[in-house]
Amino acid sequence: MNTITFPSIENVVNRIPGLPRDSLENCESKAEQITWHHLIADRSDREFRRGHFRKFPEKLSTHLAKRYIATSAKTSLVDANIELREFSEKFSGKYPLSLSIDDQEIMFLANAKARRCRSYSRREPMESNCYKIGIKPPAASISDHGAMARMRDPVWWRRRIYRQINMRLEHASISAGLVHRHKGRYVSDELKQRFRKQLDRNRRILEALTAENEQGQSYNMAELQDLSVSNPKLRRNELMCRMSGFETISNELGYVADFITITCPSRMHARLSVSGDENPKYDGTTPKEAQKYLSKLFTRIRPALARKNVRYFGFRVVEPHHDGTPHWHLLLFMPSESRNELRKIFRKYALMDSPDEPGASERRCTFETIDPKKGTATGYIAKYISKNIDGYALNPGDEEKAFRVRAWASTWGIRQFQQLGGSPVTVWRELRRIRDPLSGELEDARCAADHGNWAGYVRIQGGPFTLRKKLRIRTQKMWNDLPGQYGEPLGNQIIGVTDGKITAISRNHKWKIFRRGEVDSPWSTVNNCTEGKGNLPITNQE
């Protein structure tokens, strides 16, 4: 869309005869101010626009105002009114909650809904209270006690209201043209700002919380978060470690590697790739719906590969196009004799939807052969991992892009990285928690994990194709009857790892969480695993 130059508000006032200067003070938003000079002909247009602009936050309503002026100049004021009304009805008309609702209003609404639910003694009216504002109630599989406890919790309401508002707002922003390479790459500026506020809010909450165990050891929750894979740096390092380990195993087996990219059909893209102009084929698909399409596509590819006895392992990375539509990168290791069959199956299923549209054959599913003479597979995928986490060691400005990608994945609930094949990372992480020496394969696995030797860990587990039920080392769980946050038993919780004969305890403390300034509080449900002090001795289960 071409840039439109708007006259200043003062100039607008000065050139409209008889218009009181203080009339502009009645404008509720910048969008109204921008469109003020279009209200001369009919006062009802002003009220019409005000009713629709107030449904959206400032950045989006301002953009709608500019588009309104462009449409009225290109065609007519009537067409501009129709366009604004249709957009407003599509993204706000059928929803009870306004997209312009702010943080304070969300907190007030969440508290009010929780209070209302506390006045009910049955589940059905509580669920009806959810539907009234478009919130899905707890799943039917959750017990009545647990479901009602959730709906009486303002935090439960707050999270779901935020989630609904953010997804609706972003879908509206995509359709309005605020998400593309020349505007807001991956996510709108409004959503990026909201995501940053959310992270800051979460950080302040964690900084105000302290975790203390039965030995009197206490830690700030924010510091503990920095030591987990929630820390982007640690997350990136772990992914690179696992990727490098897979490549080591692939080289030992004499396998080859392919870098595969799968994209969605054109109708799922809101904007054109180069110009950023509106895609006339766009059917309103959200990034979440596009991700479901790709996931379903892969659930059809996997059994097809299994039927042909094509074995592979590697990683999948999901990242957004400039307009927020997801696409997949897969780095897969396989026997050289399986490469052609694997490529054939991927192409077959990727082109089942709209195979004849322009560019589908060339771009829908592409393959790149990883040539060891030109570089390692790990080095090839490193930039994709970094650009989707923290932008480390990339070009200037890529940290900002990585932050936008994180906001995108968080908003749409998209899992960015997934391991395909190989041994489970949960066992690996539990082994890294154990500091005392063990024995046998448990000690070999513990040392491999402690030294970041993913290849060694996978070998100990039986290799990259070992079935889960045949793993040599698995997590050990124990039933916990203590009530969780919503009064339900915590159920089976991980306490350590086992080889079937010996169990090594990795979680041996009870923790209580309290806010700064509180003297005492009940034991927390976090990591309530076993009694004991320090690392417990290995227990024999025979």
Q: Point out the least confidently predicted range of 225-229, 407-411, 515-519, 534-538.
A: 534-538
Phi-psi sector, 456: left (phi>0), alpha (psi -120 to 50), beta? alpha
What confidence score (pLDDT) does residue 518 get? 61
Q: Do 394 and 437 lie in a common domain?
A: no
Q: Is residue 343 part of a domain?
A: yes
Active site residues per annotation? 380, 384
Which spans in 179-338 are helix H?
A: 189-207, 221-226, 232-253, 287-307
CATH number at residue 344: 3.30.70
Q: Do 241 and 387 lie in a common domain?
A: yes
What confidence score (pLDDT) does residue 7 get? 38
Q: Is residue 385 part of a domain?
A: yes
Q: Is residue 395 part of a domain?
A: yes
pLDDT digits (tens, 9 = 90+) for 357-416: 999 999 999 999 999 888 899 988 998 999 899 888 777 778 999 999 999 999 999 999
Distance CA 313, CA 250 (A): 9
Q: Do 465 and 373 lie in a common domain?
A: no
Opening angle at CA 374, ends 368 and 377, nearest 5: 60
Question: Residue 175 — pLDDT band, cuts 50, 70, 90?
Answer: very high
Q: Is residue 211 part of a domain?
A: no
Q: Is residue 145 part of a domain?
A: no
Q: Do 477 and 532 lie in a common domain?
A: yes
Q: Do 415 and 448 lie in a common domain?
A: no
Q: Do 414 and 437 lie in a common domain?
A: no
Q: Do 415 and 473 lie in a common domain?
A: no
Out of 93, 120, 143, a domain closes at 93
Distance CA 99, CA 55 (A): 6
Out of 45, 70, 93, a domain closes at 93
Q: Is residue 111 part of a domain?
A: no
Q: How far is the CA of 211 from the CAs of 36, 506, 521, in angstroms?
A: 56, 18, 11
Q: Average pLDDT of 52-74?
A: 92
Grouping H, G, I as helix, E, B as strand and the rest as coil, residue 539 is strand
Q: Is residue 204 part of a domain?
A: no
Q: Do 308 and 363 lie in a common domain?
A: yes
Q: Do 274 and 343 lie in a common domain?
A: yes
Evaluate if residue 528 carries a pLDDT over 60: no
What is the total count of domains within the chain?
3
Out of 398, 419, 440, a domain closes at 419
Q: Is residue 376 part of a domain?
A: yes
Average pLDDT score over the chain = 88
Q: Do 378 and 493 lie in a common domain?
A: no
Q: Do 264 and 312 lie in a common domain?
A: yes
Evaluate if residue 205 carries a pLDDT over 70: yes
Can you name the residues that pair with 498 across neighbouring β-strands?
A: 474, 503
Q: Do 354 and 253 lie in a common domain?
A: yes
Global pTM value: 0.88
Residue 266 lies in domain = 232-419
Q: Name every residue whose Cβ is closer than 8 Å to that of residue 332 and which is 6 or more positions away in sequence.
A: 257, 258, 260, 312, 313, 314, 342, 420
